[in-house]
Structure 1
Amino acid sequence: MIITDTHTHLYSDQFSEDRDEMIQRAIDAGVTRLFIPAVDSTFFDAMLDLEKAFPDHTFLMMGLHPTHVKENAAEELAFVKKWLDKRNFYAVGEIGIDLYWDKTLLKQQQQAFKTQIHWAKEKNLPIIIHCRDAFDEIFEILEEEKDDKLFGIFHCFSGNLEQAKKAISYNMKLGIGGVVTFKNGKIDQFLNEIAIEHIVLETDAPYLAPTPFRGKRNESSFIINVLEKLADIYKLTPQEIAEITTQNSKNVFGI
């Protein structure tokens, strides 16, 4: 059974003491495809180290995370563009808009999001969208940018049914992680109304650990709990969920 974690921050400092063992636990559990989003330039060397250590299992993205759009955004975006032109990546991400922490940089986040969408289109790459308290703002930009080159994943989807359908209308898969196992997560109440062909699995490790690990450090092996929850929701076997969602990820990332 091949399981794909489409979003895992394996370079996080939270894994500094047991990173290799944590990754091996995931591989041993069948989670053999690990897609690693970028945040900003300060983590890039660590991402390259991961790729070197686990070349058959780790797949890198490149992008500037919306909460890292600061005063040096132009410099950070230049770094993203330099590396997109220099080597292959599997997606532009994670990118988007986050208004949970700070609303004062909305215009800068919007511009960074649009710029990186354009780069993704130039490279024929998917985008990985980070959206927090910003569905309307994200959808406004996707509406402007929609065409046959716009596609990707709505990472850590936690919206309602209407928002799920709207995200899918822009050729986005829904990244489903630990939130689907939460009692107050709500997405489990309507997810069976979304065709499984629109779903990919993710952990967002070390964040958002699924039940029964909620509140603890998340890791990619815990995606098994997400997979089992989806098997219950869709009335399919875990094997079937793994196969379908991995194929969905292949359709997005091209591998």
Structure 2
Amino acid sequence: MQIFKEKQPLIATLQSYKSTGNTLGLVPTMGALHQGHLSLVKQALQECEIVVVSIFVNPTQFDNPNDLEKYPRTLEQDINLLKQAHDNIIVFAPNASELYGDKVISEQFDFQGLENVMEGKYRNGHFDGVGTIIKLFFTIIEPDKAFFGEKDFQQLQIIRKLTEILELPVEIVGCPIEREESGLARSSRNERLSSLSREKAAFIYNTLLKSRELFGTKSADYVTQWVIDEFKNHPFLELEYFEIADTRTLKKANRKQKGANYRAFIAAYADDIRLIDNMPLNN
């Protein structure tokens, strides 16, 4: 395994690999790696000869300074976990100045409305930060493929739009959500949950399952109101939003359209920890 903290030596190494025809995959992460991340790495290794895993807690995508401060940073543990996965992994773990220089600020992007709903509505400037860091990684690493989890489905669609807008020759690969035994979507934030909150947070997944069942016979508005009522009665979890949206446009579903695919999106708090999840409803 090779580990780089500076971009120029990384670029030189990657150019030597690419010059011999190797396919290059990228798995961008913010560290605190878990089995969900490793499933992305595994898929990348199946499709590419060389895989770069970036580990960088990106400050420009946090609108809450406390959230940024509390985000787990476990680089040594992450590297050990990746070593167990495969030898043919390159780790890129830069600091903020290596990527941003003196000004740690976001570019501004027009993602044609994808950025204004759900996560974008509740996290000011979040997707500008995501777009900025992914553009930087794509420019430095020049991957053939980049792998992202469907847990952050809105982010996945925005990154696809980013490559379209910037005309970048990167194939974006969406990977299925990895779940704990309880059904809770794997997340680095789960490690901050108490054992009781972690157990109770499985309610999020169970609610999505029931939503999918109801969506077969009920309207989107009916399902949404049912979810809101369910969370009102829950003693441990606080719902931030629940939305049913078209998977392509991310626009809220008012009426079911023939041929359209829909997905349920949810964000909720367990204690002060924000958890997100989503699930396809009809595909």
Going by fraction, where is helix more abundant, 1 or 2?
A: 1
Q: State the TM-score, normalizing by the size of structure 2.
A: 0.29
Structure possessing the higher radius of gyration over alpha carbons: 2
